[in-house]
Amino acid sequence: MIAIPIDNASIDAKSSKLFGNVKYFALWDKQEKKFTFITNKEAGNGIKTAQLLSKWDVTQVVYSFMGDGPFGSLLKDKIDVYYIGGEPMELTEILKGLEKGSFIHVTSENASNYLDSGTASGDCSCGCSHD
């Protein structure tokens, strides 16, 4: 299952710049070849959002802005993380990019180059612990 953060639950949605504060995720089921739209009940907390993806059997997630806390949680749950750049993209464009290997696979080795919480200070603003 691939998770794409989106601001509105629609097939016409584009990816959101947000991760932890995003309202919805589009989940792409590779076997069924269809999207399901899920409400992010943990919006406002990036780590809890990341943990929720694991409960939805997500194996890959894409993002534009993400802090180190959610990233660490995703890695711990063995979810592959891909940086797609800072601008919203159409859902089908993201799927094609993943298939072609067009996005940056973010790992613990290169994370410092691609993690950015999206806040003015660059710090997480969710108020959670990053332990």
pLDDT per residue as tens digits for the range 64-100 = 999 999 999 999 999 999 999 999 999 999 999 999 9
- Residue 23, exposed/middle/buried by CB under 10 A (0-12, 13-18, 19+)? middle
How many CA atoms are closer than 13 Å to the CA of 35, on its beta-carbon side? 19
Residue type, 113: N
Percentage of the chain surpassing pLDDT 70? 89
Kindly list the structural domains of the chain, giving each domain's residue range(s) and its CATH number in brackets, ordered by start. Answer: 2-114 (3.30.420.130)
**pTM (2 decimals)?**
0.89
Quote the mean pLDDT of the chain: 90
Helix (H) or strand (E) holding 107: none
